[in-house]
């Protein structure tokens, strides 16, 4: 069951841990990263699906402005949060295997999204954003989501089947993220151009954890 806390409780807890991503530039990487309790997802801008589809696009120019915790919470929930009491998610997966994990690479480290606990679990106290893609803009995005398929959750299918099904699931999650970004005026681009072995190595992934895609998300760079 998702733990709900009020915004006031959250801010108190965040102040105690220093673990709020919107304050990321203040956190030194030497500090041991702590779990970050995400906020309960909010209804959002109220734009209709048709309006969001008109706005959906890829953008590759990012402002350094960090994402407030409420935006990050909504983003992750929109992408692959739990939307039903039986634990099913905002994106479908073949046979409901839920094999995709979302890692969040931010300025103050890498976290794993735990949808059930509505929590970000610290994985690495390092800024690896530049390593999440071969293109120079990826280091500028407030966060880079790294989609990782856990083949150990996918049963006895062939490797080829697992690659296909996990790629499809990633695409569905990614489109949810695109639509959330369209609703909030955020810039985003999903990416395949990744040095996967190097990234998997720095993330200390197991051999049966496969990086599928990454997705940069942040505020758009001001153009004035």
Ligand X SMILES: Cc1cc2nc3c(=O)[nH]c(=O)nc-3n(C[C@H](O)[C@H](O)[C@H](O)COP(=O)(O)O)c2cc1C
Residue number with the smallest Cβ distance to ligand X: 193
57 is an interface residue for ligand X by CB under 6 A: yes
Instruction: Looking at residues 67 to 96 of the shown chain, list those that interact with ligand X (rule: CB under 6 A).
Output: none
The interface region with ligand X, picked from 11-19, 53-61, 84-92, 139-147 by CB under 6 A, is: 53-61
CA distances from 110 to 6, 82, 94, 212 (A): 25, 21, 27, 17
Q: Half-sphere exposure of residue 188, counting CA atoms within 13 Å on the CB side?
A: 27
Residue nearer to ligand X on the CB measure, 37 or 144 = 144
Which residues from 161-220 bind ligand X, rule CB under 6 A?
189-193, 213
Work out whether 135 is an interface residue with ligand X (CB under 6 A): yes
Least distance in angstroms from the C-beta of 127 to ligand X: 20
Count of residues binding ligand X (CB under 6 A)?
10
Nearer to ligand X among residue 6 and residue 135 (C-beta) = 135
Interface residues toward ligand X, by CB under 6 A: 57-58, 60, 135, 189-193, 213
């Amino acid at each position: 069951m998702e733990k709900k806390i009020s915004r006031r409780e959250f801010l108190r807890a965040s102040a105690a841990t220093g673990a709020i991503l919107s304050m990321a530039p203040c956190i030194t990487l030497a500090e041991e990263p702590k779990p970050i309790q995400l906020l309960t997802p909010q209804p959002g801008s109220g734009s209709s699906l048709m309006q969001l589809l008109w706005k959906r696009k890829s953008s590759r120019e990012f402002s350094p402005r960090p994402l407030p915790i409420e935006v990050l919470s909504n983003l992750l929930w929109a992408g692959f949060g739990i939307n039903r009491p039986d634990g099913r998610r905002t994106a479908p997966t073949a046979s409901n295997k839920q094999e995709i994990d979302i890692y969040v690479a931010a300025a103050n480290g890498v976290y794993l999204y735990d949808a059930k606990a509505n929590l970000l679990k610290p994985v690495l106290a390092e800024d690896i954003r530049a390593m999440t893609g071969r293109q120079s803009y990826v280091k500028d995005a407030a966060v880079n989501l790294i989609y990782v398929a856990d083949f150990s959750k996918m049963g006895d299918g062939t490797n080829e089947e697992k690659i296909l099904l996990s790629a499809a699931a990633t695409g569905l999650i990614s489109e949810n993220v695109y639509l959330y970004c369209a609703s909030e005026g955020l810039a985003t681009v999903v990416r395949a151009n990744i040095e996967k072995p190097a990234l998997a190595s720095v993330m200390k992934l197991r051999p049966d954890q496969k990086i599928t895609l990454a997705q940069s998300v942040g505020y758009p760079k001001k153009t004035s």
